[in-house]
Amino acid sequence: MATKQKSGGLGRGLGSILPDIDNLQVSKAVATPTISTIPLDKIEANPYQPRKDFAPEALEELAQSIRQQGVITPVTVRKMPDGTYQLIAGERRCRASQMAGLKEIPAYVRVATDSQMMEMGLVENIQRENLNAMEVALAYNALIDECQLTHEELSERVGKNRSTITNYLRLLNLPAETQLALSTDQISMAHARALVNVEDIDLHREILHAIIDRHLSVHETEEMVKRAKKRPVAPAAKKRGELPSQHAAAQSRLKDRLQSTIEIKRSLRGKGTLTIHFNSDNDFERIISLLEK
């Protein structure tokens, strides 16, 4: 193993957040006081890992590279009281190493609190993994809540402008359907930023579906939002056979819970239909999972 590895290679701020365990003897294959070779089966996943999904094709490509060249950049772990290790950064490398048939992996063994683990995992992933926008937003929010960081402090930690941090956090105000579309790359973050300003849920969904179905550009989306906001609001017309209050209230509750268009039709005799609209197969699965809870 090369002995010229530097902690600076771990990413901005990582070396300064966590101290090394200089005198820790993990195995006989220690190349430097700060890097050790440890068994993969003794490494537990980081519970604060912001990335939830790992593409199988990308993992296989990394595994093939590891078979040929080994693990070039050590993972980062902390030692637990029971002798196991908890991963701070490098879950993709661990998974790919297991796929490559490795039994051990080089690792930086460091001292870390739970909040530092969360912070380290986020910083490392943002620099190496290209998290999707929703994963970044959720991780930023967790850091602010759990580590009690201000937007300015978080900006310094991850090397991003404060306005960038704010724009990501605003994504958490989007309806669930829009967050799903963003996390599955049906819309871009720029599309989502335009939609953040549309608070009316029906209008919001109308524009979202237009973006997806008509492949609207960001500029076209922004223009559509502007035009939609200028529409005159028509007074609600009283319709014959209007839904009874309990049915209307149920329709409203379902709409809020499922973040989808709900239609209830009822005859004067009490018979009727309940229709739940969905936009895609993924949206269908999301709604089914909510109904099954």
Adjacent-strand bridge partners of 89: 76
Residue 237 has pLDDT above 60, yes or no: no
- pLDDT bracket for residue 193 (50, 70, 90): very high
Contacts of 120 (CB under 8 A, 6+ apart): 14, 17, 18, 76, 88, 89, 112
What pLDDT sits at residue 104?
Answer: 93
Residue 15 has pLDDT above 60, yes or no: no
Which of 38, 39, 35 has its CA nearest to residue 3?
35
Question: Which listed residue (57, 60, 91, 129) is catalytic?
Answer: 91
* Contact predicate 212/187, CB 8 Å: yes
3-state SS assignment for residue 35: strand
Are 115 and 50 members of one domain?
yes
For residues 56-77, give the mean pLDDT: 88
Q: Which residue has the higher pLDDT, 108 or 16?
A: 108
* Contact predicate 181/171, CB 8 Å: no
Which of 43, 49, 22 has its CA nearest to residue 33?
22
Residue-number span of the structural domain to which 218 is assigned: 175-229
Are 26 and 82 members of one domain?
yes
What does the alpha-carbon distance between residue 107 and residue 90 come to, in Å, rounded to a whole number?
A: 9
What does the alpha-carbon distance between residue 199 and residue 166 come to, in Å, rounded to a whole number?
A: 18
H/E element holding 274? Answer: strand 272-276
What average pLDDT does the structure give for the chain?
78
CATH number of the domain to which 50 belongs: 3.90.1530.30
Are 146 and 95 members of one domain?
no
Is residue 236 included in any domain, yes or no? no
Are 180 and 167 members of one domain?
no
What pLDDT sits at residue 293?
Answer: 72
Is residue 2 included in any domain, yes or no? no
Q: Is residue 51 exposed (0-12), middle (13-18) or buried (19+ Cβ within 10 Å)?
A: buried
Percent of the chain with pLDDT over 70: 78
What pLDDT sits at residue 127?
Answer: 61
Give residue 222's identity as a one-letter amino acid code: E
What pLDDT sits at residue 215?
Answer: 92
Q: Which residue has the higher pLDDT, 80 or 218?
A: 218
Are 75 and 25 members of one domain?
yes
Task: Give the pairing type, strands 75-79 and 35-39.
Answer: unpaired
Q: Which two structure tokens, joined as six digits, stand for 199?
A: 């608070």
Residue 252 has pLDDT above 60, yes or no: yes
- pLDDT bracket for residue 17 (50, 70, 90): very low
Give residue 280's region: left, alpha or beta (phi > 0; psi -120 to 50): beta
Are 101 and 49 members of one domain?
yes
DSSP state of 32: B
Is residue 286 included in any domain, yes or no? yes
Residue 211 has pLDDT above 90, yes or no: yes
Q: Which two structure tokens, joined as six digits, stand for 198?
A: 């549309």
Is residue 252 included in any domain, yes or no? yes
- pLDDT bracket for residue 246 (50, 70, 90): confident
Percent of the chain with pLDDT over 90: 24
Q: Out of 94, 129, 164, pick the residue that ends a domain.
A: 129
Residue 231 has pLDDT above 80, yes or no: no
Is residue 240 included in any domain, yes or no? no
Are 96 and 184 members of one domain?
no
What does the alpha-carbon distance between residue 207 and residue 129 come to, in Å, rounded to a whole number?
A: 30
Question: CB neighbours (10 Å) of residue 116?
Answer: 18
Q: Give yes or no: 57 in active site.
A: no
What pLDDT sits at residue 156?
Answer: 83
Q: Give the rounded distance of the alpha carbon of 157 from its chain centre.
A: 18
**Domain count of the fold of the chain:** 4
